[in-house]
Chain A
Amino acid sequence: MTAYTHPVGARLPRLETREKITGRAEYTDDLTRPGMLYGAIVQSPHAHARIKNYDIGKALDLPGVIGIVTGNDTGLGRSGPFIKDETAIAKGKVRYIGEPVAAVAAVDLDTARRAAQLVDVEYEELPAVFTPDEALNPGAPRLHEEIATYVNVLGLPARDNIVQECEIAQGDVDKAWSQCDVIVEDTYETQAQYHAYMEPCSALVEVDANGKLTVWSSNQSIFRDQANLSESLGLPMSKIRCLSPRVGGAFGGKIEVTVQPIAALLALKTGRPVRVTLTREQDMETMRVRHPARIHMKTGAKKDGTLVAREVSIVMDIGAYADDSPGVVGVSTAFSRGPYRIPHARCRGLGVYTNKLRSGAFRGFGGPQAAWAGEQQIDELAAKLGMDPIDFRLKNAPEPGREWMCGIELERSDLKECLIKVRAASDWDRRRNERGKPGFRRAIGIACIPHISGVLSSSAIVRILEDGSAVLSTGAVDNGQGSDTVLVQIAAESLGLPVERITFSQPDTDASPYNWGTSASRVTYMVGRAVVGAADDAVKKLIKYASQMMECAEVDLELRPGGFIGLKGVPEKVLPFAAISGFAHWAAGGPVIGSHALHYDGPVLDPTKAVIKHFPFRFGVWTFGVQAVEIEIDEATGRITPLEVWAAHDLGRAINPMAVEGQIEGGVVQGLGYALFEEMVWDGGKVANPSFMDYKIPGTMDTPTAIHSILIENPDGTGPFGAKGIGEPPIVGPAPAIANAFFHATGVRLHRLPMTPERVLAALKEGVRAH
């Protein structure tokens, strides 16, 4: 018997790598079906208008056009994760420029696009609002007059143009300010960031002879797609089968439906398969962005560096539809408290409709906005007190045995360990004293990150095949981050099988067990737990059948590496999985199928320990990260160049260290783009830069290769082999760490993202004037 190599902890390339590097991987737009039609959308030219009439005659007359759908082809069914406010396609009204208002299916794409231009929609323009301030004005035009009638899943405050108004508070903030020796207070602003997944949103829908839909799409959750389609189309879930081909990146932008409802309407109308793939411009005009936010924050500390109080008010521009905004506003509000012990805190969040593209889930889910303000204030307090920023953070980090926030106590201070490791790895104390060469100031800055990875529900099924190999089904969609591989590693370790003897079943709502979504850094932790449970269940059954075959008690049997059940203490008494599974299939018991399902069951923010109003998640399994970034500032041009990044992340256990590094490196670079140049810009209600030409994401010339991943592995007692999530935290650190480095070098604070050369030069000028 060859030695068994443990799958957990192995640096494995993604299992599907070969297909991705040879061009054989199939993404949605690569798929065709016999008789397939091509879809094209018609977009609203108005930010807010009533739809009076559709004239589709000219478009229908174009040879090759098979069908056209408008708001008349959909009912009043509305979908959405929190407040169900979106129809399958605009109906009655349009609420942002670019909103799909009709769609054409034709025999080829050229014809579909030409026909889309011939669809004539008559509108009655309505006054529009483009900022939360405008939307909150008394008498402001309302985007959703019928909001009170919408399904509001959690009973969140939804009125006028408001979809979320939440609060998390503890202690007595108003009185606490008098205990503070030093207080900082300021307003911070963040921009809209576009997900820029490389694969534009795409869906292919086919309707069978019994009216059942099959939906292939680029997505983060086949089950969210199924639920959303069921709600907006008014079809039972059993009539909707969602599948996932390979997904070309998502980052939160594909967690709810994208173009599936439109492709479905076209397929239902024409009776033929229809594929709708957005152009990059359409994707940027009609999908989602990270919430622009305005954050007012005040934080106070004692002379000895003890944090005392924080007050926060976050206002987020959610765009025209609620989507995940009630969640994002809530999480941003919770995270704005920071990963510190602050006895007195009052954090409030407000989410407001505007006549713009919807804001939605995006890696970090409100965390980047909160950290942009919070981590700068922490740094500023340290500076005012003459303390080193790492010492100041160490002093206020959560400690075991003491409440951190809202009743949460942590087993260890992983944040402290992250801080200590980053200080050592970055040679912080030396670099902190560097100044750079004339004209090019150099400095290092730091930021801390809190995050979670336990939330909502997941399940898994492990089937042992006749030859003793196994199939893993979880319904979890791999967006490229590597979850298929990581989940197979977890299953392999649990079963004692090599990775090669397990296959991952592609997500299919007809066949896979439920998984809420590839989101919230939760797949490794939540789905991983389901996989361990399912594998253990399968092993229990293997032991049961082995006991019948070996005529011994189940308690005397054990799982042995390599796919064996053996008699304890007797090495030669052993049965391979193949023999047991064969017995079960052909003699007695039936096929070996293990399953497990769970909902997040750990500690959550405790409503008896704090005021928690309208916080929409029961979540936990906290993870912490610390990132330091060294930058160079060109004083002549205002350009900030990131030189080196140290990223320490507490993740329990790295199931696959290579994949973890990939998450950290990729997240950091997205965070550098957010920090330095990415910004979706509107001209009135129109997205002014809907292309990669005008919306720049980081390329090879913009980022350092010196991104040092520091993996803090203190196994979590509840996680699969101790693992927690790592998907989101890495994007959060770069912006505040760079702003803090910039302050250290220049004495000037930057309050608005991104930190473009123009803003840097203006701030330097202003800063010089102020001194």
Chain B
Amino acid sequence: MSDAIPISLTINGERRQAFVQPWHTLLHVLRDVLHLTGTKRGCNQGICGACSVMVDGEVVRGCLTIAANCEDCAVTTIEGLARGTALSPVQQAFLEVGAVQCGYCMPGMIVAATALLKRTPKPSEDQIREGLSGNLCRCSGYVKVIRAVQRASEWSDA
């Protein structure tokens, strides 16, 4: 591959470098270059939200984010939420409520829920629906997903 663009960015607090093509997405760099496979590819069209990650604190679709534009950005993926073996409050709530079935949407869902609670620490049910409206799940029917976010919001440090 010629004309590769060198990029340098921080992923989950760690400085990383990669060579990318202009059309490469952040999702491609995470999964296929850096082997951070926690972030999932569900549609690659920006609809399903399985590739949701945080870039400089904002939730973005990894599949719609051009990697070359991420120079010097701080990226947080699902792999960056737990502190060692200690789950984040959102992860803990998803676990306790039993919101997880096949788990494929969960990395994106949990990243989106984490960002939602940062913006709105005590969301109403409608605000949770709105905040997760870009994350599709085919297993759960969302009932326990919404309950999990409510539970996490009840813990003050969520």
Contact = CB atoms under 8 A, between A and B. Distances in A.
Interface in B133-154: 133-147
A324 B96 CA distance: 37
A197 B97 CA distance: 22
A327 to B, nearest CB: 23
Interface in B10-68: 21, 31-32, 35-45, 47-48, 50
A200 to B, nearest CB: 7
B133 A668 contact: no
Interface string B66-79: 00000000000111
Nearest to A480: B102
B40 A248 contact: yes
A72 B65 CA distance: 40
A648 to B, nearest CB: 16
Given A22-B87, A692-B43, A692-B45, A14 B100 contact: yes
Contacts, number: 180
B142 A27 contact: no
A81 B154 CA distance: 50
A481 B138 CA distance: 11
A238 interface: no
A247 interface: yes
A247 B105 CA distance: 12
Given A692-B136, A701-B129, A198 B143 contact: no
A27 B104 contact: yes
A708 to B, nearest CB: 10
Given A198-B48, A691-B43, A697-B136, A30 B37 contact: yes
B132 to A, nearest CB: 5
**Residue of B35, B48, B132 with highest tally of chain A CB at under 10 A:** B48
B143 A705 contact: yes
A7 to B, nearest CB: 15
Closest 6 CB pairs of A and B: A23-B38, A480-B102, A248-B104, A20-B103, A669-B141, A665-B141
Contacts of B38: 22-24
A699 B136 contact: yes
Interface of A: 11, 13-14, 16-27, 29-30, 32, 109-110, 195-200, 246-249, 251, 279-280, 479-482, 658-659, 661-662, 665-670, 691-693, 697-701, 703, 705, 707
Contact of A22 (B43, B44, B78): B78
B102 A17 contact: no
Given A22-B87, A249-B139, A691-B47, A110 B106 contact: no
13 contacts: A11-B98, A19-B103, A22-B78, A32-B35, A197-B138, A198-B48, A198-B104, A661-B143, A691-B43, A692-B42, A698-B142, A701-B133, A705-B143
A362 B12 CA distance: 39
A646 to B, nearest CB: 13
A320 B47 CA distance: 29
Nearest to B82: A22
A479 B142 contact: no
Given A249-B102, A665-B142, 13 more contacts: A17-B103, A21-B91, A21-B100, A21-B103, A22-B79, A196-B138, A249-B139, A665-B144, A666-B139, A666-B140, A698-B142, A701-B130, A703-B141
Contacts of B106: 20-21
B142 to A, nearest CB: 5
Interface residues of B, number: 59
Contact of A13 (B39, B50, B100): B100
Contacts of A26: 37
B129 A700 contact: yes
A23 B87 contact: no
B96 A705 contact: no
A248 B43 CA distance: 13
Nearest to B149: A700
Contacts of B138: 195-198, 249, 251, 666, 670, 697
A64 B16 CA distance: 26
B102 A279 contact: no
Contacts of B133: 699-701
B117 interface: no
A691 B45 contact: yes
A662 B95 contact: no
Contacts of A195: 138
Nearest to A20: B103
A481 B101 contact: yes
A481 B105 CA distance: 14
B43 A662 contact: no
Contacts of B132: 700
B5 to A, nearest CB: 15
Interface string B99-139: 01111111100100000000000000100111011111111
A666 B145 CA distance: 11
B98 A14 contact: yes
B9 interface: no
A14 B143 contact: no
B81 interface: yes
Nearest to A479: B102
Given A30-B37, A196-B138, A25 B103 contact: yes
A478 to B, nearest CB: 8
Contact of A14 (B101, B104, B142): B101
Given A21-B87, A198-B136, A665 B143 contact: yes
Contact of B98 (A27, A110, A659, A701): A659
A110 B104 contact: no
Contacts of A246: 102-103
Contacts of B145: 700
A693 B42 CA distance: 12
A248 B141 contact: no
Contacts of B107: 21, 23
B98 A197 contact: no
Taking each of B21, B43, B91, B141, which has the highest tally of chain A beta carbons within 10 Å of its own beta carbon? B141
